[in-house]
Structure 1
């Protein structure tokens, strides 16, 4: 969560775009499954590397954590008070854990009640895998994949490791804190590439994709130091980022290893810099309805990321069983699935995520009343 005054509208909109990229990636897989069952022709779009929405999220997360934590956690007064780390971690836990635990429990319940409704993972989970999933601890599933019970949670395992590293540098000042964070991320990734650790958690945390958090942190440092770009420069960065993503989509398999932060992290950083480094302006009039809607979806992007697989899978099964899939066609069905995923996310964000987050913060941060009124980030 972050104070309203630290929110940047363009970054919120970019969060919505990143979430929609991931939704499109999974929706196309569900539409392809529908097409296969109905005999319809369907070729997924290769316009963009849709799964690269995760990389945009990682860069945004690196930016938001440094940007939003600065008033209470990064400054030296946090070190003097001794509460910076505790408050930061309390806020992150309250923000991330409740909804993730809820969807993980729901996924486990559905998997036990109707295993055929979910993608297989090599067999039923054991107790160790369930505990590791709830504790954000990287562990191998029965099929060998290093994924939590709810597969999307691998990104949150990365987030939690990033939060832990960031918390260690709190109270050192913005520059030193970001320098520590970037050095730690680079050191861990290079050590993993050199040592090739056999322990699953160490191998997971040294994945080069972790470097993308550092890119966002550097952008936040630049903004904190007063760097601002004019409209043409920001437009150039946005076009360069989008153009590179178009190019990546046409170059072959989805990038992995060190190629991923280069091929996807750099374009994502261009987009985040374009969104984050604008000059502050007094809002003379309310934003347009489209901008307001995208910003609202940005607020709900975490809910959209976590709940959309349930909506997509449920609609796929419903459309197939009532014979609507053949009548609609796979692309129309895909549009319906994406639209209802957005609606579901907005409802979950408003009626489930926000109340749970407020309750968790009330329990974890007894000094919350001394802070500005927060808004979800």
Structure 2
């Protein structure tokens, strides 16, 4: 019997811990942004949740290497790879961008938030160049800066993967980049909160670390109690956020969460909760890209304060899940197939099939 297209299924049973972490990170980012509109005792405890974007970058490095490592042997392979990434990222990005462009045009000069409609940033944002310091403000659906940074990592992937295969080199590079960035940035605007202002630099060490985890995946089979390690480091991150620990100290902790998550996957260790939540990882991109438009066009329109506002935003998360689910099934997946054309989509399932 053919399964319904509405049933969420992981692309592979081999990456369930990472799918679980992706969903947790997506919800964390949602509450980082939603929390900024809530009562002070709540929003002050959520500031470190912005580091969940770095968790995305680390996981992306590992998954892209897992799926495409060793499969980009020609210029044509590289072209197809980029086409698949465009097919996955661009359609929803352009739709959400279009919503804010329409809103900005409707508001005209009476816009309450002029930075949100920085028209000089429209072209860079359209073509995913807005994490390179080109824009002076975060504009439109501004969370898409991370999509810009990630796509830059995709473009550089063959070079970065070649470096990663030198084994110790990428790990050394991550440490060196960390030291340099911590030395040259300080005060109110350190490197780990960069977004439109050179967020692509922020993505580099995380993506490299993810590539390194792929290269060292056999060694990760010897990591003891990886599932326990994943949940302990994740709990420590939440505790650090709620106790307002320095975010600089929490960056390595985010990397450690993915380290243990990868180790758990390569050891085939997946607890019941992970298996149940992992399919929701398919909604990660939709949730990430749609949560700000939902806030702008719906949640913020309801005049509530205090606990009533918190309750409304909690309900908004369920609305967001439904909208994201519909977007994935009815829009993103059909557009992905259409843009990809006749070239077969490479998935983690293909990686597990023996070559003939």
TM-score class, shorter: 0.7 to 0.9
Change (3 A) 1:265 1:66: farther
For the residues of structure 2 that align with 1:117 and 1:294, how far apart are their CA atoms? 43
Change (3 A) 1:105 1:167: farther
Indicate the RMSD between aligned Cα atoms, in angstroms: 4.0
For the residues of structure 2 that align with 1:233 and 1:373, how far apart are their CA atoms? 24
Question: CA shift at 1:218, angstroms?
Answer: 1.5
Give the aligned partner of residue 279 of structure 2: 296
* Corresponding residue SS for 1:368: coil
Change (3 A) 1:180 1:131: same
Change (3 A) 1:116 1:189: farther
The answer to whether the Cα contact below 8 Å between 1:125 and 1:149 also exists between their aligned partners in 2 is: yes
Question: CA shift at 1:314, angstroms?
Answer: 3.0
Matched, 1:65 2:64: yes
Change (3 A) 1:368 1:351: same
- Residue correspondence of structure 1 range 35-74 to structure 2 within 5 A: 43-44=42-43, 46=45, 49-70=48-69, 72-73=71-72
For the residues of structure 2 that align with 1:13 and 1:116, how far apart are their CA atoms? 43
Quick one: which of 228, 231, 243 aligns to 1:235?
228
The answer to whether the Cα contact below 8 Å between 1:137 and 1:157 also exists between their aligned partners in 2 is: yes
Change (3 A) 1:187 1:202: farther
Question: CA shift at 1:132, angstroms?
Answer: 0.9
- Residue correspondence of structure 1 range 65-214 to structure 2 within 5 A: 65-70=64-69, 72-73=71-72, 78=73, 81-114=74-107, 120-122=113-115, 124-126=117-119, 128-138=120-130, 139-141=133-135, 144-145=136-137, 147-169=138-160, 172=162, 175-176=165-166, 179=169, 183=173, 190=180, 204=198, 207-214=201-208
The answer to whether the Cα contact below 8 Å between 2:299 and 2:313 also exists between their aligned partners in 1 is: no
For the residues of structure 2 that align with 1:178 and 1:349, how far apart are their CA atoms? 38
For the residues of structure 2 that align with 1:239 and 1:191, how far apart are their CA atoms? 27
Change (3 A) 1:112 1:218: same
For the residues of structure 2 that align with 1:236 and 1:371, how far apart are their CA atoms? 28
Change (3 A) 1:159 1:84: same
Question: CA shift at 1:65, angstroms?
Answer: 1.5
The answer to whether the Cα contact below 8 Å between 2:230 and 2:260 also exists between their aligned partners in 1 is: yes
5+ unaligned residues in a row in structure 1: which ranges?
Answer: 33-40, 195-199
Question: CA shift at 1:165, angstroms?
Answer: 1.9
For the residues of structure 2 that align with 1:327 and 1:44, how far apart are their CA atoms? 12
Question: CA shift at 1:48, angstroms?
Answer: 7.1
Change (3 A) 1:47 1:326: closer
Q: How many residues align?
A: 331
Matched, 1:222 2:216: yes
Give the aligned partner of residue 36 of structure 1: none
The answer to whether the Cα contact below 8 Å between 1:95 and 1:357 also exists between their aligned partners in 2 is: yes
TM-score when scaled to structure 2? 0.76
Change (3 A) 1:250 1:17: same
For the residues of structure 1 that align with 2:128 and 2:179, how far apart are their CA atoms? 19
TM-score when scaled to structure 1? 0.72
Quick one: which of 24, 33, 57 aligns to 2:31?
24
Give the aligned partner of residue 9 of structure 1: 16
Change (3 A) 1:30 1:233: same
The answer to whether the Cα contact below 8 Å between 1:49 and 1:246 also exists between their aligned partners in 2 is: no
For the residues of structure 1 that align with 2:274 and 2:110, how far apart are their CA atoms? 36
Change (3 A) 1:273 1:131: same
